[in-house]
Amino acid sequence: MMDFLEEPIPGVGTYDDFNTIDWVREKSRDRDRHREITNKSKESTWALIHSVSDAFSGWLLMLLIGLLSGSLAGLIDISAHWMTDLKEGICTRGLWFNHEHCCWNSEHVTFEDKDKCPEWNSWSQLLINTDEGAFAYIVNYFMYVLWALLFAFLAVSLVRVFAPYACGSGIPEIKTILSGFIIRGYLGKWTLIIKTITLVLAVSSGLSLGKEGPLVHVACCCGNILCHCFNKYRKNEAKRREVLSAAAAAGVSVAFGAPIGGVLFSLEEVSYYFPLKTLWRSFFAALVAAFTLRSINPFGNSRLVLFYVEFHTPWHLFELVPFILLGIFGGLWGALFIRTNIAWCRKRKTTQLGKYPVIEVLIVTAITAILAFPNEYTRMSTSELISELFNDCGLLDSSKLCDYENRFNTSKGDELPDRPAGAGVYSAMWQLALTLVMKIVITIFTFGMKIPSGLFIPSMAVGAIAGRLLGVGMEQLAYYHHDWAIFNSWCSQGADCITPGLYAMVGAAACLGGVTRMTVSLVVIMFELTGGLEYIVPLMAAAMTSKWVADALGREGIYDAHIRLNGYPFLEAKEEFAHKTLAMDVMKPRRNDPLLTVLTQDSMTVEDVETVISETTYSGFPVVVSRESQRLVGFVLRRDLIISIENARKKQDGVVSTSIIYFTEHSPPMPPYTPPTLKLRNILDLSPFTVTDLTPMEIVVDIFRKLGLRQCLVTHNGRLLGIITKKDVLKHIAQMANQDPDSILFN
């Protein structure tokens, strides 16, 4: 008899699509590999070099991920900036220049009209030779809508034809993948290529979406593809997930120019398993990615993001009241958005609407473009809008938001005192109020369509508009009523008391926190964005308030809600299991169900095992001594069984349907003329996790969370009773929370 499994078989130990990995097995396998390399390194110089290169490969991989993520982010930023301006006109000096670059070297630019220069031609100037009058306005309007529709159509078509996984933000799926789930192709090369191209098109179309969430997906695709260059990561799913955690940090680092915020985002929001080694590597990957993007300098201002600002005006204790009000607004908006967006996405999944993704994208784009063009704040890109709202008015600002009366009557350099609002500010307030309503409504229908769409920027825009409106209101209140008790102790007439841009910043943090339920990473990202260390307390107050308010109205953040909507098997580590149920209440089979399907260690033929495999859909089978004793020997995976039997039929002479399969250490001597036996002990897990039938479910849930188990066997006095899978645990949790247990689709 041959033990043909002494050499590893290709495919054994791998997983099927839409299945969960076995963390314990993967970690054990990596420890064995590491032990072998360490032992061999003492034998020869070549083995020592191999050992050093193996240890260094992780850092090299982080360097490559950082370089690739930073380069792609720079490419996306530059392309999106140029294509967004293409909707309004082109540069005659060079087609590749966007509006800002086109007018940089022009000698005909004034501070009042810094966006107007003869080198930049609007579509009406090109087509009908004039920029004045109603007809010119209609031509520009028509071209704006046409370009928006073209970009959106290209984006949705490319996603639909080449990479269906390139749609959405990608963060819910990445959270699920990092928890051990397998979605083949989600982080593949086609997804990377199509996501990069369509992200530029989607952002340029003017839809209410951002590129920040999808950049995390792009960085994780880079990480996954580069893993294939290193044996250590290619062959081990758990090690690969450590790399993907670091890649997610690099993605946020280039999205916001916030390397430390990126590491904290990966730790707080997306990662399931985050050892200290991964923390250091994430930090290095985020650093390299930010450095690469800074070298490319996509915005030409030596900053990593479009809306970098610097305030240094101190804030006052009383201002915590409006900051907390912004936190309450952020929490309310977050809870409202999650409920309405999930309801709309569920409708899309369960009705005819989901069958026509192209038409849906075109209708939403058309409505967005038609409503956006007349209002200058909805016409500009959302990043530019946030930049304008964060901006603190200086002497040289020609924006409507800075159109105050007696602007130039100041003796304090560039720092302007509080002053009465002019006609431009009042006009801007009305336009911003309309923009706020439009952004709130249109974002609900945009997020979740079949194009790449991030949620960070639209959420920040909603909060920044609300914050700026409140900030200007507070500024005018302080100016006209500086003798009120709340102002007179710290705000004298003619002083610079209120900074409206700071209110916009706090509002942006509050709304983003309300939607995503981030806290620590959110505050760090915001102060890395703005360089304002002195504003940590206002940001913390707003972020905490928004989380409390949003949690009071619904426990899930937007990403967890989308994970549940899609039925992914994600076991949330932050939730407590507080019910008094036992393992026997959850295990399969239940009292009146058929008996548990098991294999015996030495009495089943190849045909018997193949029959069991064909008649069931289970992912694995317990192996027992005999059906009478039901004493547990181990657990074998379905995929490993199928591959091993197929391989034995090809390579081992004489294996037929009547050959007996042995899972024992030694097989008994066989009488002559019997077909050769098949020994499969090597694929048997001899230490499966077991609990007794009276184990409380809160302990079982904790074991599944902390060890990342796929299944756990239930015994009574050493006899096998049943099995609990991750899917069973999730269904039980859903049932206890009065949710639909059938919404969990995968194991």
More confident residue, 176 or 316: 176
pLDDT in tens, 144-182: 999 999 999 999 999 999 999 999 889 999 999 999 899
CATH topology for 321-389+421-566 is: Clc chloride channel (1.10.3080)
Q: Is the pLDDT assigned to residue 329 strictly greater than 90?
A: yes
CA distance 188 to 56: 25
Exposed, middle or buried: residue 105 (CB in 10 Å: 0-12, 13-18, 19+)? exposed
Q: What is the DSSP-derived secondary structure letter of residue 269?
A: I
List phi, psi (to 5°) of 560. -65, -35
Which of the four pLDDT bands, split at 50, 70 and 90, describes residue 5?
A: very low
Residue-level pLDDT at 113: 64
Size of the chain, expressed as the number of residues it contains? 747
| The token pair that represents 2 in the structure block | 């041959």
Residue 90: its H or E element: strand 89-91
Residues 108, 114 contacting (CB under 8 angstroms): no
Write the CB contacts of 353 (distance below 8 Å, at least 6 apart in sequence): 347, 360
Q: Which of 238, 217, 240, 246 is nearest to 227 (CA)?
A: 240
Closest CA to 187 of 242, 238, 152, 227: 227
Tens-digit pLDDT profile for residues 15-36: 888 888 888 888 888 898 889 8
Looking at residue 241, its pLDDT comes to: 93
The residue type of 90 is I
So what's the pLDDT on residue 3?
Answer: 46
DSSP string, 183-250: -TTTTSHHHHHHHHHHHHHHHHTT-S-BSHHHHHHHHHHHHHHHHTT-HHHHS-HHHHHHHHHHHHHH
**Confidence bin at 199 (pLDDT 50/70/90):** very high
More confident residue, 115 or 281: 281
Predicted local distance difference test score (pLDDT) of residue 411: 44
DSSP string, 106-161: -SS--STTTT--TTEEEHHHHHHS---HHHHHHHHHHHHHHHHHHHHHHHHHHHHH
Mean pLDDT of the chain: 86
Which region among 41-55, 395-409, 601-615, 645-659 has the lowest average model confidence (pLDDT)?
A: 395-409
The pLDDT score that the predictor gives to residue 209 is: 92
pLDDT, position 570: 87
Calpha distance 89→92 (Å, rounded): 10
Compute the distance between CA of residue 318 and CA of residue 324 in angstroms, rounded to an integer: 11
Reported confidence tier of residue 467, pLDDT bands at 50, 70, 90? very high
Predicted local confidence at residue 714, as pLDDT:
93
Domain definitions of the chain by residue range: 321-389+421-566, 583-737
Give the range among 412-416, 486-490, 551-555, 604-608 with minimum mean pLDDT.
412-416
Q: Which of 476-490, 506-520, 553-567 has the lowest mean pLDDT?
A: 476-490
Q: What is the model's pTM?
A: 0.90
**pLDDT of 486 above 80:** no
**Average of per-residue pLDDT across 343-362:** 90
Tens-place pLDDT, residues 412-455: 444 556 677 778 888 889 999 999 999 999 999 999 899 999 99
More confident residue, 673 or 570: 570
Give the residue with greater pLDDT, 314 vs 519. Answer: 519
**Of the spans 153-157, 317-321, 626-630, 649-653, which averages the highest pLDDT?**
153-157
Half-sphere exposure of 556 (CA within 13 A, CB side): 18
* 2-11, 308-317, 466-475, range with the lowest pLDDT: 2-11
397 pLDDT more than 50: yes
Instruction: Indicate whether 352 pLDDT > 90.
Output: no
* Token duo for residue 572: 């949330």
Q: Which of 49-63, 102-116, 257-271, 648-662 has the lowest mean pLDDT?
A: 102-116
Q: Is the Cβ–Cβ distance between 685 and 624 less than 8 Å?
A: no
Does the pLDDT at position 408 exceed 70? no
User: Which tops the pLDDT comparison, 645 or 12?
Assistant: 645
Distance (Å) of CA 573 to CA 8, 271, 597:
35, 10, 31
Distance CA 100, CA 266 (A): 34
DSSP state of 711: E
* First-to-last C-alpha distance (Å) of the chain: 37
User: pLDDT by residue (tens digit) across 120-138?
Assistant: 888 888 888 887 888 989 9
**pLDDT value at position 528?**
84
Strands, sheet with 632-637, edge to edge from the N-terminal-most edge strand: 599-600, 620-624, 632-637
Q: What is the DSSP letter of 704?
A: H
Sign of torsion over alpha carbons 677, 683, 687, 690: negative
Across residues 666-679, what is the average pLDDT?
Answer: 78
Tens-digit pLDDT profile for residues 331-340: 999 999 999 9
Q: How confident is the model at residue 580 (pLDDT cuts 50, 70, 90)?
A: confident
pLDDT at 346: 92
Three-class HEC string of 335-402: HHHHHHHHHHHHHHHHCHHHHCHHHHHHHHHHHHHHHHCCCHHHHCCHHHHHHHHHCCCCCCCCCHHH
- What are the beta bridge partners of residue 452? 168
Q: Is the pLDDT of residue 7 over 90?
A: no
The CB-side HSE value for 336 (13 A sphere, CA atoms) comes to 14
Rounded to an integer, what distance in angstroms lies between the CA atom of residue 562 and that of residue 539? 27
Share of the chain above pLDDT 90, in %: 42
3-state secondary structure of 695: coil
pLDDT (average), residues 406-415: 50
Instruction: Tell whether the model's pLDDT for residue 44 goes beyond 90.
Output: no
User: In this predicted model, what pLDDT tens digit does every residue of 66-83 receive, in sequence order?
Assistant: 999 999 999 999 999 899
Residue pair 286/259 in contact by the 8 Å Cβ criterion: yes
Residue with tokens 């009071």: 552
pLDDT reported for residue 548: 95
Q: Which of 349, 318, 266, 321 is nearest to 65 (CA)?
A: 266
List the helix and strand counts (H, then E) for the chain.
Answer: 28, 11
pLDDT for 744:
73
From CA 536, how far away is CA 524, in angstroms rounded?
Answer: 8
CATH number, span 583-737: 3.10.580.20
Helix axes 520-530, 536-553, angle to 10 degrees: 140
Strand, helix or coil for residue 95? coil
Sole residue written with tokens 């479910």: 697
